[in-house]
Amino acid sequence: MSTNQHPVVLPAEALEASDGEVVDANIDIVNAMYSELLGEDEIATNALRSYYVDFYLTEALDGGFAQYVVSAGEREDIDGFVRDGLREMGASRHLELFEATSDAFDALSDADAEEYLEGDGEPSEAVKALEALDDRFEETLDDEDLVALNAAWLRGQEGLLALDDDAIEDEIARRVGLIPDLEARRAEAEALAEGLDEGFGDAYDDEDYDDFDDDEDEDSARDEDAAHEPHAEKSEGLAK
């Protein structure tokens, strides 16, 4: 995967913060860039590698490689960011496990892949072998702390821009100003958003909405307690 020349951008104050806060700061900035319609060629490649390594970590801890596969969708580009990020961070054992797990999943038959992703029925030998690789993830994490490796790598980036909040906004605006087809991107994003809204509306009839209203207060309370999803801005099209 090619590397562009854009520098990694981080809040200056984050450099003195905890490892988790450094990684989260990069996630927040990448999300902000995505929300302003910057593409992957316009965001630092190493910022994206850090971002997707943490995405892989989050998904694998929550539901194993199966959840990573489902959440990532089209995996080719994301797998590349994860592989390169693990390699550059020095997470050699995680890289070895990621390669083995990816290869094992990609070698499954359609029926076995469905069985692995859904977790139903009696697993085949191929699925059992993949699940055994899943079981190695947390052990590997004990030996190689991905958050610590990720944060140390971010702090040591050549040409790192350590900026205050206003300067970060200015840097994002500067990059947005260089987008040659900005209006076309905005129109495409608006059309996509409208299509999603229409699809959501068509999915419910009046009875469904009545049921929804009855549960709205309970759902709102749950939402207020929900943990922040660090990669939420990319939930619609991680691999675009």
Token pair recorded at residue 61: 């801890």
pLDDT lower than 50: segments of the chain: 207, 209, 212, 216-230, 233-240
Contact status, residue 232 vs residue 31, Cβ threshold 8 Å: yes
Residue 231 CA to residue 186 CA, distance in Å, equals 21
Q: Quickly list H helices, the chain.
A: 19-35, 45-72, 76-89, 92-106, 110-118, 125-135, 137-143, 146-155, 165-177, 182-202, 206-225
- Return the sign of the alpha-carbon dihedral for residues 183, 184, 187, 193: negative
pLDDT 10s digits, 96-108: 999 999 999 999 9
3-state secondary structure of 238: coil
Amino acid of residue 71: S
* pLDDT, position 18: 98
pLDDT in tens, 127-147: 999 999 999 999 999 999 999
